[in-house]
Structure 1
Amino acid sequence: MKTLFQLKNVRQRVRERIQQRAFTLVELLVVIAIIGVLVALLLPAVQAAREAARRMQCGNNLKQIGIAIHNYHDTNNSFPPSAVKEKLQDGGGSAQALVWSGSILPFIEQKNMFDSIVGMGFGINWADDSTNELILRTKLPAFQCPSSPDMGQTWDDGSATARHRASYGCVVTGTVGFTITSNATNGESKHHMDDGGYGHARWNGPFLMQNNTTTFGDIIDGSSNTLFVGERYRDKATNRNYIYVGTPNGQDEHARWSGSTGIQLNSLDTGTQGFAGFHSAHPSGAQFAVGDGSVRLINENVDRYIYACLGTRNGGEAVQIP
Structure 2
Amino acid sequence: MTVTTPRRPRLIGFTLVELLVVIAIIGVLVALLLPAVQAAREAARNSQCKNSLKQIGLAMLNFESAKKEFPAGGWGFRWMGDPDAGTGPRQPGGWVYQVAPYIEQAGVTHIGGGTKGQVKYDALAAQRAVVVPMFYCPSRRPADAMPSVEMCFNAGNPETEARTDYAANGGARYVSTAAGPPPNNDFTDCVGGFPNCAWTQSNDTINAFTGVVTARLGAKLRQFSDGSSNTFMVGEKYVPEAFYNNVSYRPIVVGSPNAGDDNPGDNSSMYQGYDQDTVRWPSGEIDNNGIASGNLPLRDSQYGANPQTYAGGGHQSMGSAHAGGVNLVYADGSVHAIAFDVGPLVWNGLADRQDGNVAQ
- Normalised by the size of structure 1, how large is the TM-score? 0.77
Map of 2:271 onto structure 1:
245
Map of 2:92 onto structure 1:
97
Q: Shift in Å at residue 176 of structure 1?
A: 6.2
The farther-off stretch of 297-306 and 232-241 is 232-241
| Paired residues, number | 277
Q: 1:120 to 1:226 in 2, by over 3 A?
A: farther
Q: Shift in Å at residue 130 of structure 1?
A: 5.1
| Residue 63 (str. 1) matches residue 31 (str. 2) | no
Q: 1:148 to 1:97 in 2, by over 3 A?
A: farther
Partners of 1:225 and 1:214 lie apart in 2 by: 15
Q: 1:75 to 1:176 in 2, by over 3 A?
A: closer
Q: Shift in Å at residue 72 of structure 1?
A: 0.6
| Residue 259 (str. 1) matches residue 265 (str. 2) | no
The 8 Å contact of residues 77 and 215 in structure 1, kept in 2 or not, is answered as yes
The 8 Å contact of residues 97 and 245 in structure 1, kept in 2 or not, is answered as no
Alignment equivalent of 1:215, drawn from 208, 216, 220: 220
Partners of 1:224 and 1:278 lie apart in 2 by: 19
Map of 1:80 onto structure 2:
71
| Residue 152 (str. 1) matches residue 147 (str. 2) | no
Partners of 1:168 and 1:292 lie apart in 2 by: 18
The 8 Å contact of residues 283 and 344 in structure 2, kept in 1 or not, is answered as no
CA displacement, residues 260-293 of structure 1 (integer Å, 9 cap, x when unaligned): 4311111633315211000101112010010000
Q: Shift in Å at residue 308 of structure 1?
A: 0.8
Partners of 1:158 and 1:148 lie apart in 2 by: 23
The 8 Å contact of residues 265 and 279 in structure 1, kept in 2 or not, is answered as yes
Correspondences of 1:1-322 after superposition (within 5 Å): 5=4, 8-9=6-7, 12=8, 14=9, 17-18=10-11, 21-83=12-74, 97-116=92-111, 129=121, 131-149=123-141, 151-159=143-151, 160-161=157-158, 162-175=160-173, 202-210=208-216, 212-235=217-240, 236=243, 237=247, 238=263, 239-240=265-266, 242-246=268-272, 248-250=273-275, 252-261=276-285, 262-266=294-298, 268-270=302-304, 271=311, 273-320=313-360
CA displacement, residues 85-134 of structure 1 (integer Å, 9 cap, x when unaligned): 78x9xxxxxx993111111111111112222166567x8997xx554443
Q: Shift in Å at residue 155 of structure 1?
A: 4.7
The 8 Å contact of residues 231 and 279 in structure 1, kept in 2 or not, is answered as yes
Partners of 2:51 and 2:267 lie apart in 1 by: 20
The farther-off stretch of 95-104 and 218-227 is 95-104
The 8 Å contact of residues 221 and 314 in structure 1, kept in 2 or not, is answered as yes
The 8 Å contact of residues 151 and 167 in structure 1, kept in 2 or not, is answered as no
Question: Which protein is richer in helix relative to its size?
Answer: 1
Q: Shift in Å at residue 139 of structure 1?
A: 1.3
Q: Shift in Å at residue 37 of structure 1?
A: 0.3
Partners of 1:117 and 1:55 lie apart in 2 by: 36
CA displacement, residues 146-174 of structure 1 (integer Å, 9 cap, x when unaligned): 11137425153244323221010000122
- Normalised by the size of structure 2, how large is the TM-score? 0.69
Q: Shift in Å at residue 241 of structure 1?
A: 5.8
Partners of 2:129 and 2:63 lie apart in 1 by: 24
The 8 Å contact of residues 174 and 281 in structure 2, kept in 1 or not, is answered as no
The 8 Å contact of residues 102 and 243 in structure 1, kept in 2 or not, is answered as no
Q: Which amino acid counterpart does residue 312 of structure 1 have in structure 2? A: D
Unaligned runs of 5+ in 2: 83-89, 152-156, 176-204, 248-262, 286-293, 305-310
Q: Which runs of 4+ in 1 moved over 6 A?
A: 123-126
Q: 1:73 to 1:153 in 2, by over 3 A?
A: same
Q: 1:310 to 1:224 in 2, by over 3 A?
A: same
The 8 Å contact of residues 163 and 242 in structure 1, kept in 2 or not, is answered as yes
The farther-off stretch of 275-284 and 231-240 is 231-240
Q: Which amino acid counterpart does residue 234 of structure 1 have in structure 2? A: V
Rg (Cα) greater in structure: 1
Partners of 1:76 and 1:36 lie apart in 2 by: 60
The 8 Å contact of residues 131 and 145 in structure 2, kept in 1 or not, is answered as no
